[in-house]
Amino acid sequence: MKQTLKNYGVFLLFLTFSGVSFLLEYDFGIRIFDNFMIFARDMVLIIPPAFVLIGLFDVWARREKVEKHFGNTNNPLRFVWAVLLASTTVGGTFVAFPLANALYHKGAKYSSILSYVTAASLFMIPMTIMEAGMLGIKFTLIRLLASLPFIFLGSIYLGRHLEKIGYELPKIDQ
């Protein structure tokens, strides 16, 4: 309750600052508000459809399939599946984390989930296409291929550590 009041207070302070900025024509404050509105609009456009798709994934994806491709298998193809799934994720980490949670509750291994989350921020198809257009295909391929070993090794190491200490994500009340 105390944290909620604090959050509302900070937001009220922001709105007050923005209002004063518009009245005094303070350019920095106006630009901050404009950036906030762009961000808010993007979230309103991205989050609801993304959560619908995550809900559909949660209902339609069978646990056996997730366990087969992302679960307790030593098959290195699970990392390929993680990167392929991550490359199609639109909305960045706003979508990646809820989907990673759904993967976890369907039986995916920590290292697969960590690979997915990391790759979701590095392998987005629209970003990769834009990067290749601006910086060249050679640069993009080098960046992507150089990232893969670090993604896989880091997720394996961290996944083993989480399993060793017995870490579990909190259950979601439904």
> What's the token pair of residue 37?
């509105």
**Predicted local distance difference test score (pLDDT) of residue 172:** 64
Give tens-digit pLDDT for 118-165.
Answer: 999 888 888 888 999 999 999 999 999 999 999 999 999 999 999 999
Give tens-digit pLDDT for 5-64.
Answer: 888 889 999 999 999 999 999 999 999 999 999 989 988 888 888 888 888 888 888 888
Q: What string of DSSP letters covers 8-25?
A: HHHHHHHHHHHHHHHHHT
State which residues form the domain around 21.
1-60
Q: Are residues 86 and 102 in the same domain?
A: yes
Q: Are residues 41 and 66 in the same domain?
A: no
**Which of these, 131, 127, 54, lies nearest to 97 by C-alpha position?**
54
Scan for tokens 């809820």, then name that residue: 98
* Domain end point (choices 34, 60, 86): 60
Q: Are residues 103 and 153 in the same domain?
A: yes
pTM above 0.85, yes or no: no
Residue 102 contacts by C-beta under 8 Å, 6 or more apart in sequence? 54, 57, 58, 61
Q: Are residues 11 and 81 in the same domain?
A: no
State whether residue 146 is helix, strand or coil. Answer: helix
